[in-house]
Structure 1
Amino acid sequence: MPASHTVLIIGGGAAGIATASSLLKRRSDLDIAIVEPADTHSYQPGWTMVGGGIFKAEETRRTMESVMPAGVTWIKQSAVSFQPDRNQVTLEDGSAVTYDALVVAPGIRLAWEKVDGLEDALGKNGVTSNYRYDLAPYTWELVRSLKSGRAIFTQPPMPIKCAGAPQKAMYLSCDHWMRSGVLDNIDVEFRNAGGVLFGVAAYVPALMDYVEKYDIALELGSNLIAVDGSGQKATFATEAGEVTCDFDMLHVVPPQVAPQFLADSPLAGESGFTDVDQHTLRHVRYDNVFGLGDAGGMPNAKTAAAVRKQAPVVAVNLLRQLGDKNPKAGYDGYGSCPLTVERGKIVLAEFGYDGKLLPSFPKWLINGTRPQHLSWILKADVLPWVYWNAMLKGREWLASPKDKSAS
């Protein structure tokens, strides 16, 4: 007989752990299992700060055991397929686990292989990325050592997690070069596959001020397709054809896709991500399945801040599902992107579905459309503490679920 649990959660990242904790906050005796093969859990928003020389990499990582909620069964394996018609998930060793309710939160896959030559180039010859724990320190090493030449920062087509991260790396680098007196000797380029600097127009003017301040060459519609690491050349697809550029530093954000086992499953929508109602986060075809986090098919920004709002919604609606009741809580698409435009100042972008501005604080305290030091304190000091001590523990600071009719 397969093992069975009342609630089965796929993924021990921010979404999976926060959802388990929010469920246990409401029903402490609930039988929950989390399927997660990793030994460690990372605070990924901190990697931008590692690449900017503000945090140490080890400060962003803890053991998985230390964040696993008390009372939860940890199944230390990978899930390989879903059988939702049988309320079952198959694991990598061939065994199966059944459930009454399923939470799908395996995250997003970084598809490094989609850029020719990139995997072999990473970590040497000036090629780096803050999207990997082991490479973020190399970003800072490159920034400190570069005195002249060309620095290129890339952004692939959407979806990606934390759409502001490609720019954050660039602004922090430029700030260091300016403070060091070498920025005038460095040609900085931002090559973005998209057609706009940032997807929510209200924040673009403040960001453009910094593009101009740092004299950054903004190249939109420019998508990285190949890297020659040893030759320090990067090739981009543009409307005018392929363009190959020399570089001294190349900060790459990889293309990102749904995990293959999810994309191939009955739970996936056309995008490959979990096909859920964007407000209730319940699956559109399987009533006892919920999805959130970076693997969710909702049209929101894929950020840890989004997960902070989503987890309580899933907790409320899943418990109602177990009680044969309809979903009650609604998610409004909230996401936050603290854009580190210089050391000590941040443009705090907070928005929901359709780009609606959703500030957490009154404008007199934090005006998210302008760079502010208080936003920096929030990013550097407050939010990491909130992540480890509140969000992952089921303490829903500024994240109480709302009625779905208000979504």
Structure 2
Amino acid sequence: MAALQHLKHCYSTCIGTSRLHTSSHACANKEHFKMLVLGGGSGGIAMSARMKRKIGAENVAVVEPSETHYYQPMWTLVGAGAKSLASSGRPTASVMPSGVKWVKSRVQEINPDTNTVRTDNGIEISYEYLIVALGLQLHYEKIKGLPEGFEHPKIGSNYSVETVEKTWKALQNFKEGNAVFSFPNTPVKCAGAPQKIMYLTDAFLRKTGKRTKANIIYNTSLPVIFGVKKYADSLWEIVQRRDIQVNLRQNLIEVRADKQEAVFENLDNPDETRVFEYDLLHVTPPMGPNSVIKGSSLADEAGWLDVNKETLQHVKYPNVFGIGDCTNVPTSKTAAAVAAQSAILNRTITKVLKNEKPDKKYDGYTSCPLVTSYNTVVLAEFDFNGQPLETFPIDQSKERRIMYHMKADLMPHIYWHGLLKGLWGGPGPYRKIMHLGMK
């Protein structure tokens, strides 16, 4: 009887699953898809929408555990009180392309040699083609005293859904003293974000009449304020004009939240540390590759997904592709980079499906709208070589009000209705029009 019951259950499971896709083997806790997408962030959803149109929804699956999908670029404005956290999120179900199978679990293991993926609920999924879009991991725990330090007031971080509102609370409660902002000694997503909140803090304190009692301090591990000279020159002018102290090659190693002290090491002389008392501290955490990728044969020596930077095809496994923050593509990790990559990757996969050679190359385009106040932005756009690759025929290194409205109002609309639907591949075509075909 038990065997009959199991067989009956297995039959009904197979019937239910077969309505969702054509090649399921759910009876044996196994499933198969032509195109498997790992990760339901911006890269994963954008590519699953594109793949649905290319090969049919029933042939595509996305592995993603989160019930809510966040537009993370908005968190800069959430931390400064200009937007609500709720407005940055939508149910994952609402952004998942219709008909595509959503596997609501975490990736436990990737085995590219057998073309299989195992999830944390024991399902084994085999694939013909794999798109890896697993993002990166935040490592607050690598700073002594965190993450438990966030239980204290006066400390926040715009990089996590749990801590972004703490930034705004700390900013509102600030009365006088040091406002300290950090940038870690690791690759990070949106490298401009650590100083965006610093500029917004300066603007907020001026607006509320507290700026004269504040020392704003930016401690960055980098040897420069920004990686592209054109925009760095402009930012140096801004920090000097606003009396903001910038300390280069300083890396946050400890937070003593009970004493309101932040300890930084001097990267040029690691034995030397400095303790900064703070009345507001914004932490940008160390970041690193996804542990699942790091533990697989897909990773490079540093643990990032090892892809060809121009085609986004894996260097060792030709049926594996990558997009976004999880890859070792040498450009800034931003949603703008994901948009440009999605168009290139779509073309690469089209060619691979036809057994042809990829013919379109990613130039490293990325964008960082550097928010410098509640109504101005410096719009940095650049390529692999750190050369400006600007969309508009104006000097984008200048602070502009129209760029703020583009960041705060237009870009979220393009994200939800363009990028996630696989319809926005970056501003490349518009750049040519704006520059009369000369860029």
TM-score in same-fold range (> 0.5) = yes
TM superposition shift of 1:281: 0.2
TM value normalised by structure 1: 0.95
Match of 1:296 in 2: 327
Unaligned runs of 5+ in 1: 402-406
Matched, 1:267 2:267: no
Q: 361, 366, 370: which is aligned to 1:339?
A: 370
Pairwise CA RMSD of aligned residues?
Answer: 1.7
Matched, 1:369 2:369: no
- In 1, the alpha carbon distance for the partners of 2:146 and 2:390 equals 38
Matched, 1:116 2:147: no
Q: Deviations over 1:60-98 (max 9, x none)?
A: 001110000112100011111111111111111232111
The SS at the match of 2:196 is helix
- In 1, the alpha carbon distance for the partners of 2:368 and 2:398 equals 13
- In 1, the alpha carbon distance for the partners of 2:236 and 2:119 equals 48
Equivalent residue letter for 1:13: G
- In 2, the alpha carbon distance for the partners of 1:145 and 1:320 equals 56
Q: 390, 393, 398: which is aligned to 1:359?
A: 390
Match of 2:273 in 1: 242
- Mapped contact 2:336–2:426 kept (Cα < 8 A): no
- In 1, the alpha carbon distance for the partners of 2:53 and 2:231 equals 36
Identical aligned residues as a percent: 37
Equivalent residue letter for 2:339: R
Matched, 1:385 2:413: yes
Equivalent residue letter for 2:137: R
- In 1, the alpha carbon distance for the partners of 2:364 and 2:381 equals 10
Q: 70, 90, 96: which is aligned to 1:62?
A: 90
Match of 2:214 in 1: 186
Q: 26, 30, 46: which is aligned to 1:18?
A: 46
- In 1, the alpha carbon distance for the partners of 2:151 and 2:406 equals 30
- In 1, the alpha carbon distance for the partners of 2:66 and 2:422 equals 21
Q: 314, 321, 328: which is aligned to 1:283?
A: 314
TM superposition shift of 1:53: 1.3
- In 1, the alpha carbon distance for the partners of 2:186 and 2:275 equals 22
Q: 170, 176, 181: which is aligned to 1:142?
A: 170
- In 1, the alpha carbon distance for the partners of 2:335 and 2:57 equals 27
The SS at the match of 1:390 is helix
Q: 194, 203, 210: which is aligned to 1:166?
A: 194
Equivalent residue letter for 2:286: P
TM value normalised by structure 2: 0.88
- Mapped contact 1:312–1:399 kept (Cα < 8 A): no
- Structure 1 residues 397 and 4 mapped into 2: Cα distance closer, same or farther (>3 Å)? closer
Unaligned runs of 5+ in 2: 1-27, 430-438
TM superposition shift of 1:158: 3.3
TM superposition shift of 1:400: 6.6
Match of 1:95 in 2: 123
| Deviates most, 50-59 or 310-319 | 310-319
The one of the two structures with greater contact order (alpha-carbon pairs below 8 A, sep at least 6) is: 1
Equivalent residue letter for 1:205: D
- In 2, the alpha carbon distance for the partners of 1:126 and 1:222 equals 21
| Deviates most, 275-284 or 318-327 | 318-327
| Deviates most, 175-184 or 333-342 | 175-184
Q: How many residues align?
A: 400
- Structure 1 residues 35 and 269 mapped into 2: Cα distance closer, same or farther (>3 Å)? same
Match of 2:157 in 1: 129
Equivalent residue letter for 1:244: V
Larger radius of gyration: 2
TM superposition shift of 1:195: 0.7
- In 1, the alpha carbon distance for the partners of 2:210 and 2:233 equals 26
- Mapped contact 1:17–1:392 kept (Cα < 8 A): yes
Q: Deviations over 1:333-366 (max 9, x none)?
A: 1111000111110000001101021112222xxx
- Mapped contact 2:391–2:427 kept (Cα < 8 A): no
TM superposition shift of 1:146: 1.1
Q: 84, 87, 110: which is aligned to 1:82?
A: 110
TM superposition shift of 1:123: 4.5
Q: Deviations over 1:182-211 (max 9, x none)?
A: 111111110001111001111012211221
